[in-house]
Amino acid sequence: MTPSQQAAAFLTLLIKECLRFIRIWVQTVLPAAVTMSLYFVIFGGLIGSQLADVKGLRYMDYIVPGIILMAVINNAYANVVSSFFSAKFQRHIEEMLVSPMPNWLIVAGYTAGGMARGLVVGLAVTVVAAWFTDLQVHSWPVVVAVVLLTTMLFALGGLINAVFARSFDDISIIPTFVLTPLTYLGGVFYSIDMLPGFWQQASRLNPVLYMVSAFRYGMQGVADVPLAVSFALIIGFVVILFAAAVWLLHRGVGVRS
Amino acid sequence: MTVPALEIENLTKTYRNGVQALRGVDLRVEEGEFFALLGPNGAGKSTTIGIICSLVRKSGGRVAVFGHDIDREMEAAKSCIGLVPQEFNFNQFEPVEEIVINQAGYYGIPRRRARPRAEACLRQLGLWDQRRVMARELSGGQKRRLMIARALVHEPRMLILDEPTAGVDIEVRRSMWAFLRETNARGTTIILTTHYLEEAEALCRRVAIIDHGRTIENSAMRDLLMQLHVETFILNTREALAEVPAVEGYTLRRVDEHTLEADVERERSVNGLFEQLSRQGVHVLSMRNKSNRLEELFLRRVGRAQP
């Protein structure tokens, strides 16, 4: 395929993926906005008002970046894992497999679709957050870069999950038993400085911590880990997962006989 | 010498569970042909098609599509092919038009050019009025036609249809035959697998038979049918027959009092049979083939003929 043909194929897949989640926005966008509103009301408003400031910020203000990023992570992942698995399940993934689209382009298209949903949901949650707090941005480039890289990383993760999945159970196991605990323990609701020594070090093994920390830096200028370390880690994971996803499709794992 | 549309040499496939689906398939399909790929269930037809379209990884052998080896020039080979698979494999929750436009996009056709192409394909296949309908709401015949429209939207040089008329009524089947004939007449090479052998006989000029993962026949349809030395006819008689009339040069069997079965050698005329029956006061009201000619040959070639 020529570069212009590749661009047309990429746009086709991106538009298809966007139409998919927009068509069912009540299932894909609205729940995140409602759930995150509850977080703001309960943790930020009711409980948070009884708590001391964290790193010089009101508790409500402190948790906003983490909650936005949690919604972004969950939705970028959920979009690709459900869309790709559904394509496998209904076998319409074959539409792409018989076409001349290279594997990296299929991965890129699905990833972009997941990123799009992550960004739309992130925007919706941000709008909700604006009702509860005065949103400030310390560094736009950091905010944009962290959100784009994080959605990319988790969209790729969702795709790899879907490649291996053989049933609908398999696409909910990772989000439930891996993604949710990592997110909750990734410094969304607290600073790791508040943890005892051992748990501070253990928390550093959690990749979500680095994303939340970098995003919080972008919004509020405070971070649990140095920004450079966060970016290096996120970019490293993106490169590894992208390569792994392309390799899996090349090997035909889960999609070719 | 022209480049064949499809060239397969010693194709083998062993699945991970040890099943040897293909043991050495050889095929050559010339450009512009209407080619039938026949074989009993499990013979390896769908595996062969899967390998050509890269849905199945081959274990050995060589496949080239219009001269593009699938090991070295997979993208170029895929660009030449349109596939209509056996099972419905489109997104059931997508509108008909979107499915066809998206397929064009996967072949690198931008949406502004894909739209008119999709419209032309959907109109040709009588689906334009259903363009905004979700695919799951289509009837079985419409779903089959949607898969043909989808396969043709990028204007492939070769169309592969894996049992395209399975489960559709006769009217739809006949209209699909007419459409496929037109498509072939416009220069598209067509490879068809089907269990309706009358379909293969009516449409295809060349035929290959695969059995147990091997090509056991690959010839012109006419040459293959010439191999049929004896045809069996069912005769309905006006008179009730208590026993089989004695005729010379033909083998007759009594099915019931008004029905005879007659074996007629290819060199003999059926007129002789009618004359002999007429002389004995037996009048034939109607006559038909006991089975389709290709079906009879097919059963003999795959070793499943009735004794």
Residue B223 has pLDDT above 50, yes or no: yes
On average, the pLDDT of chain B sits at 88
The whole-number pLDDT of residue B303 equals: 63
Between A53-57, A158-162, B87-91, B274-278, the lowest mean confidence (pLDDT) is in A53-57
Pairwise CB contact (< 8 Å): B55 & A5: no
Mutate to test the interface with A, among B106, B111, B136, B161 (most CBs of A within 10 A): B106
The tokens for A217 are 């830096």
A100: nearest CB among B75, B85, B98: B75
Which residue of B lies nearest to A105 if distances are taken between CA atoms? B106
Q: Scanning every residue of chain B, which has its alpha carbon at the shortest distance from the alpha carbon of A84?
A: B91
Tokens standing for residue B98: 């979107």
A94 touches chain B (CB under 8 A): yes
Residues 6 or more apart from B275 whose CB is under 8 A from it? none
Q: Would you state the pLDDT for residue A204?
A: 83
Asked if B156 has any chain A CB less than 8 Å from its own CB, the reply is no
Closest CA to A116 of A28, A41, A195: A28
Q: What is the pLDDT of residue A247?
A: 96
Q: Do A99 and B102 touch (CB under 8 A)?
A: no
Check pLDDT > 50 for residue B297: yes
Tell me if B54 and A94 make a contact (CB, 8 A cut-off): no
Please indicate if any CB of chain B lies within 8 Å of the CB of A71. Answer: no
Q: List chain A domain ranges.
A: 3-251
Interface contact A12, partner B, CB < 8 A: yes
pLDDT for B168-177, tens place per residue?
788 888 888 8
Q: Please indicate if any CB of chain B lies within 8 Å of the CB of A102.
A: yes
- Tell me if B81 and A6 make a contact (CB, 8 A cut-off): no
- Using one digit for the tens of pLDDT, what is the confidence trace for A179-230? 888 888 888 887 777 777 778 788 888 899 999 999 999 998 888 889 999 9
Q: What is the mean pLDDT of residues B61-67?
A: 95
User: Which residue in chain B has the smallest CA separation from A20?
Assistant: B94
From the number of C-beta atoms within 10 Å of its C-beta (0-12, 13-18, 19+), residue B243 rates as: exposed
How close, in Å, is residue A247 to chain B by CA atoms? Answer: 15
> Does residue B63 surpass a pLDDT of 90?
yes
Position with higher pLDDT, A118 vs B219: A118
Percent of chain B past pLDDT 70, that is, above it, reads: 94
pLDDT tens digit sequence for B258-295? 999 888 887 788 888 898 889 888 889 998 887 666 77
* B78 interfacial to chain A (CB closer than 8 Å): yes
Closest chain A residue to B75, measured at CA: A100
Confirm or reject contact between B56 and chain A (CB < 8 A): yes
User: Domains of chain B, with CATH numbers?
Assistant: 6-225 (3.40.50.300), 228-301 (3.30.70.1560)
A99 close to B (CB below 8 A): yes
Q: What pLDDT is attached to residue A128?
A: 87
pLDDT of residue B29: 93
- Chain B residues whose CB is inside 8 A of the A2 CB are 108
Please state, in angstroms and rounded to a whole number, the distance separating the CA atoms of residues A98 and A96.
6
pLDDT surpasses 70 at B67:
yes
Residue B218 pLDDT more than 90?
Answer: no
Using CB atoms, pick whichever of A9, A86, A256 lies closest to residue B106.
A9
What's the rounded Cα separation, in Å, for the pair B251 and B244?
A: 10
- Phi-psi region at A146: left, alpha or beta (left = phi > 0; alpha = psi -120 to 50): alpha
* pLDDT tens per residue across span A132-142: 888 889 999 99
Task: Check CB contact under 8 Å for B55 and A19.
Answer: no
* Contact at CB, B105 and A252, closer than 8 angstroms: no
Between chains, do B111 and A8 touch, taking CB under 8 Å as contact?
yes
pLDDT in tens, B16-47: 888 899 999 999 999 999 999 988 888 899 99
CA distance B131 to B109: 19
**pLDDT tops 80 at residue A72:** yes
CA dihedral B8, B10, B15, B18 (to 10 degrees): 160
Q: B57–A256: do the CB atoms touch at under 8 Å?
A: yes
Q: Chain A closest CA to B199's CA: distance in Å? A: 26
Average confidence (pLDDT) over A94-107: 94
Nearest-CA residue of chain B relative to A15? Answer: B102
Q: What dihedral do alpha carbons A190, A193, A194, A197 form, nearest 10°?
A: 130
Residue B62 pLDDT greater than 90, yes or no:
yes
Cross-chain residue pair A100–B83, CB shorter than 8 Å: no
| A88 at B interface, C-beta within 8 A | no
User: Phi and psi of A185, rounded to 5°?
Assistant: -95, 10
ipTM higher than threshold 0.90: no
- Beta-carbon separation of B83 and A1 below 8 A: no
State which H helix or E strand residue B14 sits in.
strand B6-14
In the predicted model, what is the mean pLDDT of residues B119-123? Answer: 92
pLDDT in tens, A16-46: 999 999 999 999 889 988 888 888 888 777 8
pLDDT band at residue B306 using 50, 70 and 90 as cut-offs: very low
Confidence of residue A126 (pLDDT cuts 50, 70, 90): very high
Q: Tell me, yes or no, if B81 comes closer than 8 A to chain A by beta carbon.
A: yes
pLDDT at A14 over 80: yes
How confident is the model over A156-166, as a mean pLDDT? 94
For range B180-192, the mean pLDDT: 93
- Relative to beta strand B60-65, strand B68-69 is antiparallel
- Tell me the average pLDDT of chain A: 90
